[in-house]
Structure 1
């Protein structure tokens, strides 16, 4: 194997998923996911650091996220890291790194789930989510974030 790009995260949503649609009608969702690291420093003081990740989800999995995920919900996300560049409205070149999710498992109790629908099976994945932005037939201006 010459390389590997795989990410596995368990964290809590920082906001409800935002779903947009590409010009050809393909759903794409994005949300922030917080992961925390805890440790005790050399003085015996408990420390915590939270990392915020931008998660991007495509197609059917995006629709599932929209329907069932809400701010605070704990999820397992599996996917890959992807960086992209764009020029903002002021002409400034920007760069971001995102997690392109291919699988998602809703964690926690049913009470944490959205009241909008049943929580029959918490697993949603393997739905061909790994399409890079270039293959989606969209431009940077179509990206919702």
Structure 2
């Protein structure tokens, strides 16, 4: 039996998506997402915020780059991926990211209107994946 690698997050973008283009024109966007939870500690209401590194590929990245921005509330589904890289001093480092497979913009209708043609609650989704990267060129909306 194989394992399951599924992440579901609802949070606010910590900054505008950063769009890049790789060889062959493959688009990738990334941004931090903050999720917060509140709890009571000794009768006081406390809040704890967790930051997640989100990565989106190809068509999904294009849609995110167009419609998402800092502070917006979004629902994201994806999977965890840990990768390694070397820093400027040549030291091997590791980072864990959420590779998004789809997302839904949440919030008020006015939060997402762009020329009156975008509605909240509609989602963007990667239809096909290869090695965790979306291969969808067209999104279903």
* Range class of TM-score, shorter chain: 0.7 to 0.9
The equivalent of 1:84 in structure 2 is 83
The C-alpha deviation readout for 1:13-61, integer Å capped at 9, x for no partner, is 00000110111111000011000011001x1011110000000000101
Distance 1:32 1:75, change over 3 A: same
SS of alignment partner, residue 3 of structure 1? coil
Which residue of structure 1 lines up, in the alignment, with residue 29 of structure 2? Answer: 29
Q: Secondary structure at the match of 2:107?
A: coil
TM-score normalised by structure 1 residue count: 0.84
The question of whether the paired residues in 1 share the 8 Å contact of 2:112 and 2:119 is answered with no
Q: Which residue of 2 aligns with 1:6?
A: 6
Unpaired segments of 5 or more residues in structure 2? 136-141
Larger proportion of strand: 2
**TM-score when normalising by structure 2:** 0.86
Q: Evaluate the alpha carbon distance shift between residue 75 and residue 89 of structure 1 in structure 2; reply closer, same or farther with a 3 A threshold.
A: same
**Counterpart in 1 of 2:139?**
none
Partner of 2:40: 40
What SS does the aligned partner of 1:63 have? helix
